[in-house]
Structure 1
Amino acid sequence: MAQTIAKWVASSTRFPWREYYELCKPRVVALIVFTAMVGMFLATPGMVPLDAFLFGSLGIALSAASAAAVNHVIDQKVDAVMARTKGRPLPTGHLNRWGALGFAFALGMVGMAVLTWLVNPLTAWLTFASLIGYAVIYTVFLKRATPQNIVIGGAAGAAPPVLGWTAVTGSLHPHALLLFLIIFAWTPPHFWSLAIAKYKDYAEADIPMLPVTHGLALTRLHLLLYTVVLVLVTLLPFATGMSGWLYLTGAVILGGIFMGYAVALYVTGDDQRFAMPTFGYSIVYLMALFAALFADHYRAPLQGLVF
């Protein structure tokens, strides 16, 4: 009996929690949930209802983690080839694909239940569409079909602030679609900077990313042009009266820095020096831009408290 208990304790301590956690792509999910939370706050002039905030964030996080785990399963063979991803739990054999699929299914079911019963059906359906868009349409089809994969598939990744908005209001609004448009325009320069830095990996894995199919020079040009589009799109919240001067100031400064990276990458062609820094800044950029939206939204109430 004692030996049986000892074996059970030993096996339980070896349960691969860290590997399952890695399946969720926690840093990506954190960014998704952050933009969704900002969407919640922008949806109301006052404070977000606590139940919508907590359960909406939880349901969106679980669903995003489910999509990430499905992505790991589908891309297992590709990940094993690429230096950047070969250390993931499935290529290394630390987890098996059926366990990962079961984990993804459980996360998705719980996430959908939370959103359906504790938030609202519209948010649940939109989240489910986003999950399918990323885990199936993008990962299974678009990623392997066209060098414009990330442009078309970016729609799934741009959904979180809309989901946050509907979690609070139960309805869509043009301002929520502006938030969607910002992330949609941000996705290509964000991802292409990584694709430029890791294009040999994608070529080895036979994934038709733009630098593999059309070369690095054209990809740099596309990255620059989409960055211009992004900077222009980020002016729309101010132009439509959604946000004020505080946001506009932040958007212009942040966009100017992003343009600096894109121009440097294009002009110099020095991928080793500028590609990964551009990728790193793109993440900081999106977080800071949405933080500026949040700060601007509550600027007037805060001024009233101070003065």
Structure 2
Amino acid sequence: MTDTTHDGAASVSQPVTWRDYLELTKPKVVALMMLTTVIGMLLARPGIPHWTVFVFGNMGIAFLAGAAAVVNHVVDHKIDTIMARTRKRPVATGKVSSVEALVFALSLALAGMLVLVWQVNALTAWLTLASLVGYAGVYTLFLKRATPQNIVIGGIAGAMPPLLGWTAVTNQVEGHALLLVLIIFAWTPPHFWALAIHRKEEYAKAGIPMLPVTHGERYTKLHILLYTLILLAATLLPFVTGMSGGIYLVGAVVLGLRFLHYSIRLIREDNRKLAMDTFKYSISYLMLLFVFLLVDHYVYF
């Protein structure tokens, strides 16, 4: 149990439990990442991947993704104390110390690399490590505080999971896998900026130069619309390139038009709740889009 908070505040009396360490790994975020990783594996080849690749590939990638999340908790612990949705995080409250969290992160990262190199392949291991460094190092340590385009530039790290799943099966970086990366890369800005509009004051108080803080809400909403259009175009590429068929095309168009509807409403309406609704829809959108890809794959292969 940790005795003091980061600011030397009163002792923390609650005992540390496994749930605190689980929270450090951002399990909901990692779960969404692992969904795209699994689908990347399933799309890579006809049929079902060998169970060892499926189990150990997802295990190793999840360990490394969790390690990156823990580092994010440590780096952002002062910011987390300011923002309402994060102020009860274990490192922010001092329940878990920064040193304890970093040891945990290192353990997860080493375990993840060992599993991937030993049971999967070195390409997947090093690509996963690179995405960890990109998120925890480049984005969290530098970009997040340096530019309002932080989520755009840093989005590539968060877009990697389907490629990692693909390479776990094929041991190759292939064009169709990169299309999946492109889709998530285009999805990230409208997804995150919608949340940033809803949390604008908190980001401003924390000194984070998110786009709504530096350029205003209307400018951000316009960019959400523009990136949604880019996303809609990107989601058509799997069909255009022959990666997927009609089932996916119909799903992608319907889901994309719904996302576009939210983006247009954001510009027309001054409603913070709508921004949060857009953020929530964007999560469902990505999950359903990849499910359509998967269903289409097994119907047509």
TM-score (structure 1 length as normaliser): 0.92
In structure 2, C-alpha distance between the alignment counterparts of 1:94 and 1:70, rounded to whole Å: 16
1:217 aligns with 2:193: no
The residue that corresponds to 1:284 in the other structure is 284
- TM-aligned CA deviation for residue 266 of structure 1: 1.0
Runs of 5+ unmatched residues, structure 1: 1-12, 302-307
Q: State the alpha-carbon separation in 1 of the partners of residues 51 and 246 from structure 2.
A: 29
Counterpart code for 1:24: T
The code of the aligned residue for 1:291 comes to V
Separation in 2, partners of 1:139, 1:119: 28
Please list the CA deviations of residues 145-204 of structure 1 after superposition, one character each: whole Å capped at 9, or x if unmatched: 000000000000000000000000000100000000000000000000000000100000
Report the CA distance between 1:269 and its aligned residue. 2.6
Deviation at 1:273, TM superposition (A): 2.8
1:94-105 matches, within 5 Å, as: 94-105=95-106
Cα distance between partner residues in 1 of 2:48 and 2:95 = 44
**Partner of 1:46: helix, strand, or coil?**
coil
- In 2, Cα distance between the equivalents of 1:288 and 1:300? 18
Task: Quote the offset at 1:109 in angstroms.
Answer: 0.5
> Which residue matches 2:201?
200
Cα deviation for residue 218 of structure 1 reads 0.2
Q: Deviations over 1:232-268 (max 9, x none)?
A: 1000000000000000000001001111111111111
The aligned residue for residue 232 of structure 2 is 231
The answer on 1:74 being equivalent to 2:67 is no
Structure 2: tracts of 5 or more residues without a match: 1-13
Distance, in Å, in 1 between the alignment partners of 2:177 and 2:115 is 22
CA RMSD of aligned residues (A): 1.0
Within-5 A mapping of 1:136-151: 136-151=137-152
Q: Does the CA contact (< 8 Å) of 1:217 and 1:269 recur in 2?
A: no
Q: Deviations over 1:69-117 (max 9, x none)?
A: 0000000111111112111111112111110010011001000110111
2:82·2:205 contact (CA, 8 Å) conserved in 1? yes
Alpha-carbon distance in structure 1 between the residues aligned to 2:300 and 2:164: 25
**5 Å matches for 1:166-177?**
166-177=167-178
In structure 1, C-alpha distance between the alignment counterparts of 2:138 and 2:270, rounded to whole Å: 33
Counting only pairs closer than 5 Å after superposition, residues 1-307 of structure 1 correspond to structure 2 as 14-270=15-271, 272-300=272-300
Count of residue pairs brought into register by the alignment: 288
From the CA coordinates, give the structure whose radius of gyration is larger. 1
Superposition deviation, residue 300 in structure 1: 3.1
Amino acid at match of 1:286: L
- SS of 2:46's equivalent in the other structure is coil
Query: Quick one: which amino acid aligns to residue 257 of structure 1?
Result: R
CA contact (8 A) 1:217 1:266 kept: yes
- CA distance in structure 1 between the partners assigned to 2:237 and 2:160 by the alignment: 18
Alignment partners' CA distance in 1, 2:87 and 2:218: 27
Runs of 4+ in 1 over 6 A off after TM superposition: none
Q: CA deviation at 1:144?
A: 0.5
Any idea what SS the aligned residue of 2:154 has?
Answer: helix
In 2, Cα distance between equivalents of 1:110 and 1:273: 41
Aligned partners of 2:110 and 2:270: how far apart in 1?
46
Paired position in structure 1 for 2:11: none
Name which of structure 1's ranges 260-269 and 65-74 shifts more when overlaid on structure 2: 260-269
* Range 44-53 or range 162-171, more displaced: 44-53
Alignment-mate amino acid for residue 106 of structure 1: S
Q: Is the 8 A contact 1:23 1:69 kept in 2?
A: yes
**Residue aligned with 1:235, SS:** helix
Q: Distance in 2 between matches of 1:92 and 1:14?
A: 13
Q: Specify the SS of the correspondent of 1:85.
A: coil
The one-letter code matched in structure 2 to 1:280 is K
* Separation (CA, whole Å) in 2 of partners of 1:228 and 1:277: 18
What is the letter of the counterpart of residue 184 of structure 2? I
| Residue 15 of structure 1: how far off its partner (Å) | 4.1
**Partners in 1 of 2:29 and 2:21 — Cα distance?**
15
